[in-house]
Structure 1
Amino acid sequence: MTAVTVYGLKTCDSCKKALKALEGAGLPHTFVDIREGVDRVVKVPDWLDAVGATALVNTRSTTWRNMSGEDRELATHDPAGVLIAHPTLMKRPVIEAGSVITVGWNATSLDALLAGAAE
């Protein structure tokens, strides 16, 4: 079974739901805080390649609302640079299970992860 890594924030409700569902499914996983426990310079470009900026940049977040217009414009041209500088701008959780990368948490997320972890 492939290792599952959950990247997020400890206080994020979506991350808490994901962790609870993974535990309930008996899927071994590791939680990593995106602010301090991950090399964003390496991971963010990989995530953007896998899911795209639209899926990864949270334009409904407080971080987005508090950003200057210049920074918002920069996010459209250089999403990696903005996400590296402002990790709380990422939609959460970002979950890696083998070759499967998901962003956010919904009813189908667990099924996708179980399929990816079985690889």
Structure 2
Amino acid sequence: MTTLYGIKNCDSIKKAKTWLTNNNIEFTYHDYRQDGLDIAWLTEAEQNLGWEVLLNKRGTTFRQLSEQQKQNLDQASAIALMLEQPAMIKRPVLIHQGQYFIGFKAEQYEEILL
């Protein structure tokens, strides 16, 4: 089972979905905003990837945080922020055969899925 997690208007999500479709890979798509996000999934993703990898520090949502929020980031506060604002999660998150991968690169998907 392959599941892709993200937000539908994200360019990386669009590229990943196109790649998966063009390579005839069956997958389920989960949109954080539309389908929701729960603490159990986020905690599991964090345990597999690490909160520092999972947290998107380049996005506008992160940049809008106060300096105090940015300075005091730790595992608990990062998870709380990502749960509250799913756009702060790097995208896409791909889960394939129980393994977690983040981001989209065609070469990486070829290694994982083909």
**Aligned counterpart, 1:86:** 85
Cα separation, 2, equivalents of 1:77 and 1:32: 23
**Cα gap change, 1:12/1:75 in structure 2, threshold over 3 Å: closer, same or farther?**
same
Q: After TM superposition, what 4+ stretches of structure 1 lie above 6 angstroms from structure 2? A: none
**Identity of paired residues, percent?**
27
**1:13, CA displacement in angstroms?**
0.2
**Cα gap change, 1:25/1:37 in structure 2, threshold over 3 Å: closer, same or farther?**
same
Cα separation, 2, equivalents of 1:24 and 1:84: 32
**1:30, CA displacement in angstroms?**
1.2
Task: Give yes or no for contact 2:19–2:106 (8 Å, CA) kept in 1.
Answer: no
Unaligned 5+ segments in structure 2 are: none
Cα separation, 2, equivalents of 1:77 and 1:52: 8
Q: Does 1:25 align with 2:23?
A: yes
The counterpart of 2:34, out of the listed 17, 28, 36, is 36
Unaligned 5+ segments in structure 1 are: none
Q: Please give the residue correspondences for 1:1-119 in structure 2 after superposition, counting only pairs within 5 Å.
A: 3-78=1-76, 79-114=78-113
Number of matched residues?
A: 113
Cα separation, 2, equivalents of 1:60 and 1:7: 18
**1:106, CA displacement in angstroms?**
1.3
**Cα gap change, 1:61/1:16 in structure 2, threshold over 3 Å: closer, same or farther?**
same
**1:108, CA displacement in angstroms?**
3.2
**1:68, CA displacement in angstroms?**
1.3
Aligned CA-pair RMSD: 1.6
Is the partner of 1:36 in helix, strand or coil? helix
TM-score after normalising by structure 2: 0.88
Is the partner of 1:27 in helix, strand or coil? coil
Alignment-mate amino acid for residue 64 of structure 1: F
Alignment-mate amino acid for residue 88 of structure 1: A
Is the partner of 2:15 in helix, strand or coil? helix
Cα separation, 2, equivalents of 1:45 and 1:97: 17
TM-score after normalising by structure 1: 0.85
